[in-house]
């Protein structure tokens, strides 16, 4: 059977790092298996769903390189939900309930006060026709619950968590439809997964109890069960769940100047036994992706680790990969000269200004002023080619007896205005003869 995975965000906000990780892992598994990766916009909440959020989700996935094979919108599938809902109703697997939120909350508090699990008591199943008529006369509209089968346990073998076992008597019959007719997440998701042939549902461990109820929904619809994998949730670098993780997304990573592959490299293996490494291409991550590598321990996300990965990735990027993001005039030689000093590609503009000028050098020490004048005179006599830095410094060393810091630092300061930076052997030919002479003369 061909593998089909899906990423199903609600377009009610922007993607955060946890969403991105789930999308990535679904994409990696589909690509490794030669299958299909679907983008499904779960926009049944028509009031909160917005097209600009949907556009942002698409743009984020495209920036990361997570291309999907097909897209669906739940808001265009309501007719199918009605059809399946009617079949479940006819089979007695969904039933109307008339309790108000306040009444349900009171029952919940009573159960908790008695030390009992706050499980719905199925009171709606015992309503008489007269009671229903009374509620209807009051203007109450029913919400609908899926009736769990209490006669057998719910079991499955999770691809990450192993064997799972739930007693349905300890679960509330889940609400699948609100009193205004709108859908909650659980049932439409099952209907879509079945209809779209989804073979693997990979999501966070906060959905484990949802999976237990959804397994019975698949069975009630006569649909084959997909395989389920629930991965540990992300925590902050300090080891605690962090609200900040809910605000970190692609916009933040782009503001930091991160490469998409820095995000991919970290999130692909976060929570697994595999080492996090700086990749410039996702192919090795696709080839090595395996649910068996993931465990139940918290997955710690650290922005500093992502920044360090980015630093290493930038140092591997060839000119062709960044040419369209570099300042005008930066060719391959320029990129290779400044690349070792970059943490992000955006910093290239700052280093390129050393080449194009103007450069404001610190005033030379008295003993260095004559040395720089001599350097200018010597430079004027030498062929200005790729070996000019070596030729200049060797000539000055022979003329002055200077060596080490005394030989090189005054030249670097005069030519770049800095004590540290790109290799001068690569930089000086880019600066050019006239500009170099002017800088050595203090101009």
Here the tokens at position 124 are 């709606």
Give the single-character DSSP code of 363: P
162 phi/psi in degrees, rounded to 5: 80, -155
Exposure string for 53-86, b = 16+ CB within 10 A, e = fewer: bbebbeebbeebebebeeebebeebeeebeebbe
Domain end: 127, 154, 177, which one?
A: 177
Task: Check whether residue 155 and residue 123 sit in a common domain.
Answer: yes
pLDDT bin (cut points 50, 70, 90) of residue 442 is confident
Residue 243 has pLDDT above 70, yes or no: no
Q: Is 350 found in the same domain as 289?
A: no
CATH code at position 386: 1.10.10.350
- The per-residue pLDDT for range 370-400, each reduced to its tens digit, is 999 999 999 999 999 999 999 999 999 999 9
Q: What are phi and psi of 57, to 5 degrees?
A: -60, -45
* CATH (domain of 304): 1.10.1160.10
Beta-bridge partner residues of 300: 235
Quick: pLDDT tens for 144-185.
999 999 999 999 999 999 999 999 999 999 999 999 999 999
On whether both 415 and 284 belong to a single domain, the answer is no
State the average pLDDT over residues 290-305. 93
> Which residue numbers belong to the known binding site for ATP?
243
Distance CA 343, CA 258 (A): 9
Together in a domain, 57 and 195: yes
Kindly report the number of other CB atoms within 10 A of residue 396's CB atom: 21
Distance (Å, rounded) from C-alpha 215 to C-alpha 213? 5
Q: Are residues 352 and 374 in the same domain?
A: no
Residues 349 and 416 in one domain: no
Binding residues: 243
Among 177, 196, 223, residue at a domain's last position: 177
What is the Rg, in whole angstroms, of the alpha carbon atoms belonging to the chain? 32
Q: Which helix (H) or strand (E) holds 220?
A: helix 208-220
Element (H, E) at 4: strand 4-7
Cα 378 to Cα 110: distance, rounded to the nearest angstrom: 92
Domain limit, last residue, from 328, 356, 384: 356
The one-character DSSP state at 311 is H
Average pLDDT over the chain reads 95
Residue holding tokens 């061909």? 2
One domain, residues 96 and 215: no
Residue 75 and residue 8: Cα distance in Å, rounded? 13
**Token digits of residue 119:** 């499980």
200 SS3 class: strand
How long is the chain? 443
- Is the domain of 277 the same as that of 342? no
pLDDT value of residue 370: 94
pLDDT bin (cut points 50, 70, 90) of residue 236 is confident
Convert the pLDDT of each residue in 332-385 to its tens digit. Answer: 999 999 999 999 999 999 999 999 999 999 999 888 999 999 999 999 999 999
Q: Do 96 and 26 fall within a single domain? A: no
Which range of residues forms the domain containing residue 331? 320-356
Q: Taking 70 as the threshold, does the pLDDT of residue 212 lie above it?
A: yes
Query: Cα–Cα distance between 381 and 399 in angstroms, integer?
Result: 14
φ, ψ for residue 60 (rounded to 5)? -65, -45
Q: Which of 144, 54, 439, 318 is nearest to 326 (CA)?
A: 318
Residues 271 and 257 in one domain: yes
Give Cα separations from 86 to 80, 81, 179, 442 (angstroms): 10, 8, 16, 86
CATH number of the domain to which 42 belongs: 3.40.50.620
237 band by pLDDT with thresholds 50, 70 and 90? confident
Q: Alpha carbon 400 to chain centroid distance?
A: 57
Count the domains in the chain.
Answer: 5
Name 39's bridge partners.
7, 71
Cis peptide before 405 (omega within 30 of 0): no
The reported pTM is: 0.91
Q: What is the 3-state secondary structure (H, E, C) of 66-124?
A: CCCCEEEEHHHCHHHHHHHHHHHHHCCCEEEECCCHHHHHHHHHHHHHCCCCCCCCCHH
Look at 116 and 228; give whichever has higher pLDDT.
Answer: 228
Instruction: Give the span between the Cα atoms of 283 and 327, in whole angstroms.
Output: 30
Q: Let me know whether 84 and 173 are in one domain.
A: yes
Same domain, 333 and 364: no
Tokens for 425, please give them.
Answer: 């052997």
Beta bridge partners of 96: 144
């Amino acid at each position: 059977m061909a593998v089909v995975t899906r990423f199903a965000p609600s377009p009610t906000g922007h993607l955060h790092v946890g969403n991105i990780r789930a999308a990535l892992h679904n994409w990696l598994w589909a690509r490794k298996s030669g299958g299909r990766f679907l983008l499904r916009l779960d926009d049944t909440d028509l009031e909160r769903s917005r097209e600009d959020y949907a556009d942002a989700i698409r743009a984020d996935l495209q920036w990361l390189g997570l291309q999907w094979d097909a897209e669906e919108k739940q808001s265009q599938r309501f007719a199918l939900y009605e059809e399946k809902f009617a079949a479940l109703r006819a089979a007695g697997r969904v039933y109307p309930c008339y309790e108000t939120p306040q009444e349900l909350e009171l029952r919940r508090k009573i159960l908790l006060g008695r030390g009992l699990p706050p499980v719905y008591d199925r009171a709606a199943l015992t309503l008489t026709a007269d009671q229903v008529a009374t509620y209807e006369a009051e203007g109450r509209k029913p919400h609908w619950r899926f009736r769990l089968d209490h006669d057998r346990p719910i079991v499955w073998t999770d691809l990450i968590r192993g064997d799972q076992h739930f007693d349905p008597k300890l679960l509330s019959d889940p609400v699948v439809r609100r009193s205004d007719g709108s859908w909650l997440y659980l049932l439409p998701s099952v209907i879509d997964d079945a209809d779209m042939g989804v073979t693997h549902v990979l999501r966070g461990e906060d959905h484990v109890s949802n999976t237990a109820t959804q397994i019975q929904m698949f069975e009630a619809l006569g649909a084959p069960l997909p395989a389920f994998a629930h991965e540990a949730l992300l925590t902050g670098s300090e080891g605690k769940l962090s609200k900040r993780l809910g605000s970190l997304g692609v916009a933040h990573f782009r503001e930091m100047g991160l490469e998409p592959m820095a995000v991919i490299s970290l999130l692909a293996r976060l929570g697994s036994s595999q080492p996090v490494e700086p990749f410039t291409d996702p192919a090795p991550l696709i080839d090595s992706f395996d649910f068996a590598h993931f465990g139940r321990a918290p997955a710690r996300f650290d922005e500093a680790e992502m920044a360090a990965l980015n630093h290493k990735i930038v140092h591997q990027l060839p000119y062709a990969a960044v040419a369209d993001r570099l300042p005008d005039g930066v060719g391959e030689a320029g990129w290779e000269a400044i690349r070792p000093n970059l943490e992000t590609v955006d910093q290239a503009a700052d280093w390129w200004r050393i080449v194009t000028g103007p450069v404001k050098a610190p005033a030379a020490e008295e003993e260095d002023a004559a040395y720089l004048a001599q350097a200018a005179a010597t430079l004027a006599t030498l062929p200005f080619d790729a070996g000019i830095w070596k030729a200049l410094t060797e000539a000055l060393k022979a003329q002055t007896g200077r060596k080490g810091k005394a030989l090189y630092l005054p030249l670097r300061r005069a030519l770049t205005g800095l004590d540290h930076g790109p290799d001068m052997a690569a930089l000086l030919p880019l600066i050019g003869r006239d500009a170099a002479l002017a800088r050595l003369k203090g101009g």
